[in-house]
Structure 1
Amino acid sequence: MPGRAKEASRKAEKDSKIQPSYNPLANLCIIQMTDMEAPLATPCNIQICEVTCDSFRIMWDMPPQDTARATHFFIDLSRKESSDPNRFKHRDVPTKLVAKAVPLPMAVRGHWFLSPRTDYCVAVQTAVRQPDGDYLVSEWSQVVEFCTGDYAMEHLQQLLDKAKGTAGRLLKFSVFYRNQHPDYFSYIRKECDGLMCPSLKDSSGSHGSPINGKLQGVFFSCNTEFDTGLPPKDSPYGPLRFQIPAGFLLNPNTCLYFADFYCMYTAYHYVVLVLAPVGSEGDTFCRTRLPMLDLASNPFLTYTGPQQPGEEPVYCHASDVILEVLFTEPVHLDRGSVEQISGHHQLMSLTTANAKKDPSCKVCNISVGR
């Protein structure tokens, strides 16, 4: 019995010194949980590229371990004029875009109705969605500013297609005209030797039109009254009218481009056209930016050459839209005449200087911004 007791005592002492078995899976779980809870680095070196009128691509730098475990990106976008570019209600409760993590650069489109040629601010966070649904998030990146682009050719083609449905039948006309106040013509004669020089197109109409603030020209009208076939008696621009024979601006040596279609909270619409002499600086500018129209066959403004010897060319304009024709070269007053218009009042409310397009009109808006 004493021998057996001694042996049992030795066995118990040996068992007490045995170490617990190693469980690699359990340790791995502990390591993974620690990694999931480790802070995410703040995104840095934000880069914006491939900017269009309604989209852009964004990328930034982050450590490889964050790239491997990030499940979502938070993107906050606002117009530059906003005093508070990040409008999250809570640090990890986004009120703007939550996107699943994808390889960078990431395309951003369709999530906001981006406006063309508009300054924006953007900031990003990286995030890891946890099993309970909460997010582990990084700090916000620095705020980066960028500007969206003009309408591309495809967008202007959409606008052109809409304008075609509104143009109406073609009416004959014989002169282009430009109304201004007496001070304007006095200045042109005294300071410019009678030459009306091109000036920069203002920001009226569609915000994305490529000519706004970039193309210079002299604006003319050509619409006529239904009953007389002559220019209207009244004008929103002034009581003096410069008239020039249509053939001086519209002829086989000029190119015709479509530039815009818009309204100003009214039932009638404006179509902006550009007339640029072939090979001119204006022609070069428009050729890659605006849809070119056939002089002899388009719904807005046409030139038909003489069919027989002795005949005069025929000029026609659309009847159901107001045409604004931008001629890209200087025009001398000697080419036409300046006369007082016969109307008794000027319709100042119809001026279009820097006028804003109605963003709710279903007739003249397209889906890529206003």
Structure 2
Amino acid sequence: MKLSRFILSHLDDILKEWEDFARSLSKPGVIVPEAELQDHARQMLKAIALDMETIESAQQKKEKSVGDVSKISGGESAASTHGSLRQLSGFTMPEVTAEFRAMRASVLRLWMDKSTRASKANTAEILRFNESIDQALQESAVRFSDERNRTRDTFLAILGHDLRSPLATMTMAGAFLVRPTIDQANAMQIGARISRSAAAMTTMVNDLLEYARTQLGGAIPIRPVLGDIVDICQSAVDEASAAHPECIFEVEKAGERIGDYDAPRLAQVFSNLLNNAAQYKGENHPVTISTFGEAEATIVQVKNFGPEIPRAFLAAIFDPLVQLAIMTDQKGPATTSMGLGLFIAREIVTSHGGTIEVESSVEAGTIFTVRLPRAAPLPTMT
């Protein structure tokens, strides 16, 4: 059987192997449905089979094999759309490349198992198949890179915008403070504004430094000591309440409370989760943080009712520079929009030897679950 016809008649078998491989690349703790794992693979395989059936001249074959890569566009095709969605779902470029390698290997292996003998025609079909799948890979890679560049540029624009506001406040405050007629009461108010602006900028700079550390191959350092997880959660609630006075926060606790924790780092994690929950909470619903102490682990859950996070975003919500446009219907003031908070939260939890997961539905709400071992991991140093 010709390879192109084999592809069309054995799509389900090929897609099953594709799904198994794609599932192995998915983020831990995130259940991705079959349709999203297969993505546009069915359409890509059909397009590859159609391309293989298309008659090409000798010149067209040469151009396809040695053509200028820069001329390949990320225009609308199943392969380019696949690249866009994979970038949105938090895949990396090596993972996307590996998917096409797996597709190539699966198709050829399944076909050769059915083939009775090698022939010159078979060799020609394999060459044609390789050209077609390379074309699809390049289209996907171009779109993936375009989306990544767009996200990076958006990130830089947001960073500039977020830094400009506190800088403007501090500039105006400085202009008022140099006036000879300013009284003590006004000076105290201006000083408070400068302090808040400096704190906002410090948070952003610290997030950037933590992100840079992880990108250079380092883990976020922790220094765990014996502590009470409920006290850490309460500290995070106090900080979030100050930032969101209109939001009701509820603390629930059960089981063991004492363990080895880096309290400031975990307070940073829970503050971030609580601030996000307050920003996107529904009307007349509190934000809850619950602790469940077990023999070997402590579980902390932050829950709110608000807009459902689309399933396509769940796999990438903890990745940097990906979650910039997940939700726009926020109810409270945003603390920062750089898209680094959840990424840093995951890295801190990972440094504790724990895990962080998220699930979201209209009925159950959005729940972030942090699971931490109660025994201290080996401390990491700066």
User: By percentage of residues, which structure has more strand?
Assistant: 1
TM range (shorter): under 0.3
**TM-score using structure 2 length:** 0.24
Answer with 1 or 2: which has the greater Rg. 1
**TM-score using structure 1 length:** 0.25
